[in-house]
Amino acid sequence: MTPLQNDRLLRAIAGEPVDATPVWMMRQAGRYLPEYRRVREQAGSFMALCQDDSLACEVTLQPLERFDLDAAILFSDILTIPDAMDLGLHFVTGEGPRFRKTVTTAEDVAALPELDAERDLGYVMNAVSTIRRELNGRVPLIGFAGSPWTLATYMVEGGSSKDFRGIKRLMMESPEVLHGLLGKLADAVTDYLNAQIRAGAQVVQIFDTWGGALSPQAYRAFSLDYMQRIIDGLIRENDGRQVPVIVFTKNGGQWLETMAGCGADCLGLDWTTHIGEARQRVGDRVALQGNLDPSTLYAPDDVIRSEVERILGEYGTGSGHVFNLGHGVHLDVDPDKAKVMVDAVHEFSAR
Q: Check the annotation: does 350 bind a ligand.
A: no
Q: Check the annotation: does 77 bind a ligand.
A: yes
Catalytic residue chosen out of the listed positions 11, 36, 70, 154: 154
Any idea what DSSP says for residue 169? H
**Spatial contact of 132 and 199, defined as CB atoms under 8 Å apart:** yes
Omega of the bond leading into 291 within 30 degrees of 0 (cis): yes
CA-CA distance, 47 to 166, in Å (whole number)? Answer: 26
CA-CA distance, 174 to 104, in Å (whole number)? Answer: 10
Q: Check the annotation: does 209 bind a ligand.
A: yes
CA-CA distance, 62 to 122, in Å (whole number)? Answer: 23
Beta strand 89-92 with 96-99 is: antiparallel
CA-CA distance, 49 to 59, in Å (whole number)? Answer: 9
Q: Check the annotation: does 205 bind a ligand.
A: no
Among 243, 251, 285, 280, which Cα is nearest to 268's? Answer: 251
266 SS3 class: strand
Catalytic residue check, 77: yes
CA-CA distance, 132 to 139, in Å (whole number)? Answer: 9
Catalytic residue chosen out of the listed positions 7, 53, 70, 77: 77
Q: Check the annotation: does 150 bind a ligand.
A: no
Catalytic residue chosen out of the listed positions 27, 229, 279, 305: 27
Cα dist from 165 to 148, 157, 158, 169, whole Å: 17, 8, 12, 6
Catalytic residue chosen out of the listed positions 8, 11, 40, 229: 40
Q: Give residues with Cβ within 8 angstroms of 188, minimum separation 6.
A: 81, 85, 114, 115, 117
Q: Check the annotation: does 202 bind a ligand.
A: no
Catalytic residue check, 232: no
Catalytic residue chosen out of the listed positions 31, 37, 66, 198: 31
Q: Give the other-Cβ count within 10 Å of 299's Cβ.
A: 15
CA-CA distance, 34 to 62, in Å (whole number)? Answer: 10
CA-CA distance, 137 to 139, in Å (whole number)? Answer: 6
Q: Check the annotation: does 258 bind a ligand.
A: no
Catalytic residue check, 293: no
Among 332, 314, 336, 331, which Cα is nearest to 269's? Answer: 314
Q: Write out the binding residues for substrate.
A: 27-31, 77, 154, 209, 327
Q: Which residues are catalytic?
A: 27, 31, 40, 77, 154
Q: Write out the binding residues.
A: 27-31, 77, 154, 209, 327
